[in-house]
Amino acid sequence: MSARASVSAGLLLFRRTRGMLEIFLAHPGGPFWANRDVGAWTIPKGAVNEGEDLIDGACREFREETGIVASPPFIALGSIRQKAGKVVHAWAWEADADPDRIESNLTRSEWPRGSGRWLTYPEVDRCAWYAAAAAREKINPAQAAFIDRLESELAR
């Protein structure tokens, strides 16, 4: 099954601890992201296969990148367009998870590009919980809208 390269779907895991909203973010693995922090973190997400429902792709990607199986109910957060043009669809779900126990799938890429040297590494090298304000600083800037939308939904 081929992937739709310009369409991603993912899940924003959240919890409420002592009345405070916390967001579970993933840090991409590999040499390109190794020394990047602010703006580098993301919701666990990835490409959606042709014919795959967006929510099914989001759940599959979350499981592949964290080893965690998501369960409904899900809160639709809509979509955003990232700087490079990729459209990301997201849903939120409430649960707890231990970021020290994630198990990410492996990916392979040429590094440096054009070198002929191929590296294999975890797609996600670590996850962490952040208060909503801190998560907005850490996350890819376009994805911060998902946190805003979640807060609006929870305030209803």
- Is residue 88 packed enough to be buried (19+ CB in 10 Å), middle (13-18) or exposed (0-12)? buried
* pLDDT tops 80 at residue 2: no
- For the chain, list the domains and their CATH numbers: 3-155 (3.90.79.10)
End-to-end distance of the chain based on CA atoms, in angstroms?
Answer: 39
Residue 3's pLDDT is what?
Answer: 65
Would you tell me how many other CB atoms lie within 10 Å of the CB of residue 34? Answer: 12
Map residue 125 onto helix, strand or coil: strand
Residue-wise pLDDT tens digits, 69-103: 999 999 999 999 999 999 999 999 999 999 999 99
User: Phi, psi (5° rounding) for residue 113?
Assistant: -55, 135
Share of the chain above pLDDT 70, in %: 97
Residue 1's pLDDT is what?
Answer: 55
Residue-wise pLDDT tens digits, 23-35: 999 999 999 999 9
Q: 47-51, 76-80, 148-152: which has the minimum mean pLDDT?
A: 47-51
pTM of the full structure = 0.94
* pLDDT tops 90 at residue 4: no
